[in-house]
Amino acid sequence: MPKKVIIIGSGISGLSAGSYLQMNGYKTEIFELHDTPGGLCTAWKRKDYLFDGCIHSIGGLNPKFKLYHYWNELINIDQLKIFYHDAFGRYN
């Protein structure tokens, strides 16, 4: 019988942990307080406004970096449309 791991939280860390555990033969169950998984990588609407709580810069999206290969184990990055901005923030 495979070992089972319970994960609390379905943000990027919880979903990644669950994926890697399953890749290594563990059964997993993920519990989430909210009705939508994703943690800080989600957005929600309230009236006429959209609140984007997503991470604006995810490290490792360049294939030259080691982190890229870790992301690619979980999702096929080549199928994503990635927007590269000239600046991440601006201060006046």
pLDDT at res. 20: 95
Query: 57 Cβ partners below 8 Å, 6+ apart?
Result: 88
Q: Where are the domains of the chain?
A: 4-79
Residue 83's DSSP bridge partners are none
Give per-residue pLDDT as tens, 22-81: 999 999 999 999 888 888 777 788 899 887 777 656 777 778 888 888 888 888 888 887
Give per-residue pLDDT as tens, 2-37: 899 999 999 889 999 999 999 999 999 999 998 888
Residue 58 in tokens = 């995810």
- φ/ψ region of 39 (left if φ > 0, alpha if ψ in -120 to 50, else beta) reads left
